[in-house]
Amino acid sequence: MAYVTVDVELNEFDDEEIVAELEHRGYYVSKDTPSEGFDREDWQFLLDLLDKQPETWYTRSLREKLSEARFQ
């Protein structure tokens, strides 16, 4: 097996070519923001995990942020 190192400029390829290559390598590509990809059960799972932690100012703040993002 031979290995080669090449320098490639990403602007040489359009978005569709890059997406096709990444998907061919087994990656999932989406234009959605991470919160758009979460369903109701995902949010509840994260909140449940957070609720199992000792309550601190940080966990309260994080829970508020998750709750707000959930309904956006």
Q: Show me where the domains of the chain are located.
A: 10-70
Q: Given 3-state DSSP classes, what are the helix, strand and coil percentages for the chain, each rounded to the nearest 5?
A: 60, 0, 40
What does the pLDDT average to over 10-33?
A: 84
pTM: 0.44
Tens digit of each residue's pLDDT (9 = 90 or more) over 15-25: 888 889 889 99
